[in-house]
Amino acid sequence: MKFGEHLTSRIYPPWLECYLQYTDLKLEMKRRQLDHTWNQTDESEFSKKLEAELIKVHQFIEKGLGDLSQRCLQSEAIIYQLMQDPLAKESYDIEADKLTEVLFDCNDLAKFLQINATGFQKLIKKHDRYTLMRLDPAFRNQIFSQWSLDRLSLQFDVLVVKISELHDTCQLHGNTRQPVTAVDQTAFERATAKYWVHPDNITEVKSIILFHLPVHVYNRTKDYHESDMAVSSVYFDNESLDLYTARLEPIRLRWYGDNQEDIYVERKTHKAAWLEGKSVKDRFRIKQELVNDYLAARYTADHLVQDMRIKANGKPRSQEVLDQNHFVASGIQSSVKDKALKPMCRVFYNRTAFQLPGDQRLRISLDANLTFIREKNQTGEDWRRKDVGIDYPFQQVAEQDILRFPYAILETKLQTHLGQESPAWLTALLDSHLVYEVPRFSKYIHGAAMLFKDKVPVEPYWIQDFDKDIRRKPMANIGLSRSQSFRPLVNGRHRHSLLQMYEREMEAKKIPKTKSLVDLFTVTGSFRKKLNQEKKNLGSLKKIEPKTFFANERTFISWLQFCALLMTVALNLLNHGDMISRGIGATFILIGAILCLYALFRYQIRSYQLRTHRNMMRYDDIWGPTILCILLVTALIVNFYLRFNTLNTSYKEPAK
């Protein structure tokens, strides 16, 4: 499918005028060249129209983000008030539903941004090909810097994090989630799986995960900013790319956000001899000013352990932790020296991580804006380039030194040695059309293969997958959608229905009180509050406010009032009308009786669902009013038809 057709098929009708007018601009490029070759006048006018379209799209997205942020702030204020009232638990569900609506609108706006950003890229390529004149690089950099869609995309991540925090608070009814107690780990033994996520699906995948695991924020003492998502890593290798070839011991230096003071020195070891052939990631933290001394072996593992004891401030450090840090630091330092390792490739991405606070058993990360940058041959004390920060898309870097990856990377990490298994909701996501599995994918392997093509002996197998579209036909009941009444659906279910599904799952498993957190972990995060209540009363039902039952009764009475009015009209027709009127009256009585029974049936079903929390049918009624309208209109049309001949006859009677 051509992009123009693809864009047309993805247009959201209410936003029609706000999309990039891709087809119109493409046709104009062709029309202008019917009687002359493309000239500077054409180029100037096209550039103005292109900039106008970019400004229009940018301002629409900016306004949409502002509206969504304002709705989040309103919910946050209400939730804060609810937290002061411990008896207002039922109101949290109302705010959770509002936040779900915000999340769905955020997903719609993110898709709008993505398809327009793709449209601008393709339009510029077509311009260069059709006109044989390259769009002025200075002009291009200026408008896409001033009206940057990439910067706007980062604001979506900040918004998703805010929604996650508020949604998690609603699920816990205002209580604080207690972090799981964990030891100071320097080694993580994990089973990992990696998937590519097309840009069209990134926000949708994040939203699905958010309903089950909260977004992990490293520092909750300050507001979350765009820079907090940034992760930068410098990978080491030698001129022969021995680590690339062996693929057994990648070594990297990593830092988070714009904080370049704390550097994590990490080593991933596949088939570790000290773990009976299992894979493990080791790391320790070091200050930025000590990195060069560490790489030159002027700062050793002994110095590291000594500093750790000093910084403990009198608190006893576990000898096991000190020994582990010493083991990791000395091992990495030996590898750097023995293998003549040096900085080769920088990997940058914006990471959204999902996990329970303090619990490493299940961790999911989604890395977007993945970028590979060639590290210059560093000399002296410079172990990394100083001209590269976290300002994606790094327009200042020469094109031959940079590679921007087209997909996001979804990575699942399970600590299987602790008994962790993949929960059912995660399995459904990973088997869906939203992700594309790439076994053994490595960021460094890919970056080195692309940036050092003349040195790598063999390219990774996944390179060939770039020639095909990884998107697949959408699967039923997977992802975000809306019902006929435009209510948000997650995997084909309403938010409350998801909760009930996990309730039934837990009851079926008959989880006893003595089960450990590892066994309970596969249950969704929105149900963890219920699990705590399970210790007191398994399967206890949530209290429903009386006003909910009154609303059901009012709906029933409204239907009865209409039926009473209809039957009053019918009785008048029966008592004072001719044969045709009596027939119509009898029909209205029949319709009224059926409606009374139907309203009673719906009233009883709703009451039963509210009492038992079982979702047998929808609470709102789509078909009842529709069928009623059709029956009434049909009765009126039949009445008019039968009366038409009578009226005709009366007009034709001769005057006496």
As annotated, the active-site residues are 443
d(CA 478, CA 486): 17
List, in order, residues 6 or more apart from 471 with CB less than 8 Å away. 198, 200, 201, 433
Q: How far is CA 515 from CA 477, 509, 518, 519, 580, in A?
A: 32, 11, 8, 6, 73
DSSP state of 215: B
d(CA 164, CA 215): 6
Beta carbons of 520 and 535 less than 8 angstroms apart: no
Beta bridge partners of 350: 230, 368
The structure tokens 């992760």 sit at 231
Residue type (1 letter), 253: L
d(CA 530, CA 544): 16
- Among residues 482, 466, 458, 354, the alpha carbon closest in space to that of 405 is found at 466
Positive or negative torsion for Cα 580, 586, 591, 596: positive
Alpha-carbon 139 to chain mean position: 33
Residue type (1 letter), 131: T
- At 212, phi and psi to the nearest 5? -120, -30
- At 267, phi and psi to the nearest 5? -140, 125
d(CA 540, CA 358): 29
d(CA 643, CA 557): 34
Beta carbons of 551 and 529 less than 8 angstroms apart: no
